[in-house]
Structure 1
Amino acid sequence: MPRKADPLPQAAPKPVPPIGVKVSTDMERRSYGIRARARWTDPISKRRVTRSEIVPDEAAAHAFFDQLRTSSSKGMDVSMTLLEFVTSIGQRWARGLDPTSTADNYGIGLRLRVLPALGHLPVSQITAGIIDRTIDEWETRHGASTIKNTIAPLVRILDEAVRDGMLTTNPAKNRAKRSLNRNAFREQSAEDASPRAHAIPDLATLNKLAGACAEVHQSYSDFVMLAALLAARSSEVSGLQAGDVRFDKNIVIISRQTFPGKGGLITKATKNRKERRVPILDPLRPVLERLTEGKEPENRLLVGPKGGVLTTATVRDATNWDELVAKLDLPNLTRHGLRHTGATWMADAGVPLHVLQDILGHASIETTRGYLHPDDRHLASAAEQANAFLRKSGRPASKQPASRRTTARGL
């Protein structure tokens, strides 16, 4: 049984006097400072509530009382820490997220990174600079995707703080973009940062990789071929059923994904919730014919050595993926790089951009455009035109006949 996700840490917010309730205050000098105390009666429970703090002087005591009055007008403690605020809003920050995947990943980022780093800080004191310095530290230990899934819940939580009047603006806005731009590819050229850079160069190399995986088990080889030649995500390969293969139309329909989640495996619609139709390429046809033989339409197309679902983690661990691809001189190849491979090959084959967008399921055509091969021919043409202009403008002016010059002066 999968281990149940650990709950978020909790910190109960400090009491705040309700609006309109009479608050009595007093100060008492002590050897280590001044005890500033505020007391009021809860209108519902009729219990006497006390809140006190030790402060260095009377000015700080009055500031404490003013802060309580402000908190009372806002309905929450304006001095609460990020951890206390997260506790007070519960799951409000996760509204609208898919609870089976996105919310789960964001919750992990919140629990493992955001709250340990920033949970002790008062929300009102969290600035863009503090967040940037925290991201700098995360960048030394985590990849861009992990950082994105860490910053995203922080952005949502601080959005709630803005709505509650604790902040005027959200200091975490645009921090994820800053991280991806400066961390993931900051030392790479534009060409190296392209998804093309993560693709396998040719079919021979793909077959070599598939053969190496087959030495462990044939299912891992099939996983590689399906992901690359369908330009599919690993979870989409896991979700394929035999009935998704339509030999009569020469297509494979990708309409679902399967991946590990809370409580076990989760099967749901694809990332953009739209089914995709991918053409069957010739090198993949024998694989599909073998995998569909004798299966009912609802049967899984691909299963592991023990009949279970293959996930990207399963393939990684079973094949010793990092070591395997390094031996094939593909040290940076990931399982997702197989999807980049198919997309790059189709782009190089001249598949129209809008068709490739449909095959890949991209919401934006600009994402698809990243798979196009850089074409610098227009730059060469521009250079020829500019050079012709410079040659022409650099020639000395031709001398006019004397009679023409005289006539011109006479005019």
Structure 2
Amino acid sequence: MSLPLNPAFAATEPPPVMEARRWIAGKTFTPERPLLNVSQAAPVESPPLGLRQALAEAALNDPQAHLYGPVLGLPALRAEIAAQFSAAYGGAIGAEEVAITQGCNQAFCAIMATLAGAGDEVILPTPWYFNHKMWLDMQGVTAVPLETGLTLIPDAATAEALITAKTRAIVLVTPNNPGGVEYPAETVAAFRDLCRARGLALVLDETYRDFDSRHSVELGGRPHELFADPDWADTLVQLYSFSKAYRLTGHRVGSIVASAERLAEVEKFLDTVAICPSQLGQIGALWGMRNLRQWVAGERDEILARRRAMEQGFGALKGWKLLGCGAYFACVEHPFDMGSDVLCKRLVDDCAILMLPGTMFHPAGSAAGKRQIRIAFANVDAGGIAEMFARLAAFRP
């Protein structure tokens, strides 16, 4: 007799990236045509030397780095985030309005645990980030899809028609995963106004904020004005990850910016699942914030160069349509008479390319999901991008 299984977990799809890895298990790829893995958006290189030295120094000489720390994170890191984000967004964020988490996925789970329970609803624009959908499914919360059409930009008026007495929050991801699009400032402001009017939370996931083409302190730009609103905390929750900007994926450091009252509820969640975030990871994140601004700017420039290469390549690739491109991702429509889930497996075998089908980012049976593919291009250099387009051009279904 098998052990009981929570029916909400039984109804939750397996992790898509792990599923895609099984497509290449046991397969052999030649040195002449190695696998091009554009399925996952995570840095594969180590952090810069200075950051690694800071981690090593702390590991060797800071006894506190190996002990439990504050549940909501190191005070110095919370204060640094508050100061830098206040300056970057032209607003006022206090250190007490910042919490540190074990990565941004945990930040999402923590804030959602305080907002919605079984039987409630949360609106997610499609294509959605699959881990967001998975968490809601496992909690018995209904993910209400908000179609974004060919622009991949959600519309607040369309979202309003989906709100019911059970709706607790609307989630936006910008720059978007998986769509790549950068949501216009007026779009996020319209969603803020809608959520405020209807008593909902606006959860804004800005994991890829460092790679937003508009977000440059040096150029004086910012992607939105939400934190300039002195009452931002009555509606807005911002999520962020240190994994991408500082290559700290294995250290799991993320953050939540929300009202101090909301973070008091978040603390209950964090204390039961992790007790405290990684001390070494936080030390690395703090060193990075204080010392790597110019290095991160260079990383952004490189990602933006790869974005231009993607845009140019799809502009010349017959039949394919680029829907969105930015940060780490491109979302495209393929031209073939088969579903993207079938096509992506064919591309592994015929082209040695691993991509994720749109079916992993849309509700079951979605026509858009069958047409779309997500390409994570951040780990593919200019030569790899050119090779990817050569293989796609040669593919015959």
Same fold by TM-score greater than 0.5: no
Larger radius of gyration: 1
TM-score normalised to the size of structure 1?
A: 0.25
